[in-house]
Structure 1
């Protein structure tokens, strides 16, 4: 059966295209099989001998997947085991996608401890899950692959062989259409891609992502309430009351180090200075009266005036 529809995924690089070397059967795909490479970089697949149709490589800097195409969409690739005497696997209308990263929690823990950037697909970031979903949406629109799949996606290593009871029988496999994992294909033992968030991936592919669960209200204990109340009380009744309530804009430190009222508003400061000036003016008037009274007593008025000026200057400087 000749393949129909577009054969190259838009934006995918063909720098590692192996179809000219390995050929493959022409098909009309109706199944997508998802794998994980269990590595951190684009594999060489033995020069293409075990390559899928496409590989999705994470670009962490740009939070996206970079796609590499190795075979046409409607051409059989080589990433599945196919035993003699059973059913067809690679050639049964299947397009295969390897996702760079791991589904193995032990590998994830090791890479994480070493500080190595990677995707642990059971906990894939939103952008990675969305990148796979975009491919599935395209496969549905351009090749009619149903956006459905098996209900069981057990975590690795339970998924190895058929530990989670997820692997399809021969009859189920031959009748299957949709999206599945390497873990579901008969004649194979691999357990990838593990417990990926398949419902969310399909929801994204359909354009109806499932909303995150709402956080449940958690009741505070009496002890927690008392601690919060004590912290608030200490903050509001402490020396930083003004800072806490209105901040420090237009507020001055109190003159003379007043600890009972450590912060003054501009209005209070101006009023205080006005009163000081008024008191000084009154004292100047008193001095002038006394000077006039002794003017006839033979006092050196110039010297007295200089003395008074010095005293006033000192007072004003306070």
Structure 2
């Protein structure tokens, strides 16, 4: 029997205007443990990832069991599915000794996800810009805090994408492009104060508000409390604010503005390492 545990970080994607291309890995984690030679290969997501891996690695499939534990909530726009898929892919790569590269495993995960915005930061850590499978990566200073409002309800990505229009105004596309460029420059230079005012989006958040009706007032409350800005994390339901100071004050303001019960706030930092082998027992 061979056993491997992989730790994969949560991620917040889009950052407002960077639809399907921007993301940041967060210091919240799931741990995925695979044991070879035992039955019970996990749920459909796990089996699909394994099938994808064995197809590329060109090795004989083997039975394994899968255990997933951690604090990345499901269906909140924090990349929980990526933590599972990356965990399975990296664990199988370790057990099978196939030596697929981090880039190759990222590509497999992005294909399984259908978009790279969470797979990129979870794979490489830090702030990432994904153009398909071409990724640029920048470490993020621990000074920058990420304040998460995590509601009790889930949102399916497929459902959220159905709300998006097929066409957008050229002026709105231009505004989004300008904001994405400003965000990328601020992270690349670590001049985080320049992020203020850059998280406004015209492509997806105005339409997804139907599923998160308190979005605008939470963003406004976060900014008034001192946040650099805030946005819907992925397709939601979580909302993420960024700040250099007053994190607890911002978290309290977001929670109050949401007017929700059974809702939690989490204050965290970026994870600059990305997915990693946490524990390995290979004979």
Return the index of the structure with the highest Cα Rg.
1
TM class by smaller structure: under 0.3
Flag the structure with more relative contact order, 1 or 2, with Cα contacts below 8 A and sequence separation at least 6: 2
* TM-score scaled by length of structure 1: 0.21
* TM-score scaled by length of structure 2: 0.22
Say which structure is richer in strand: 2
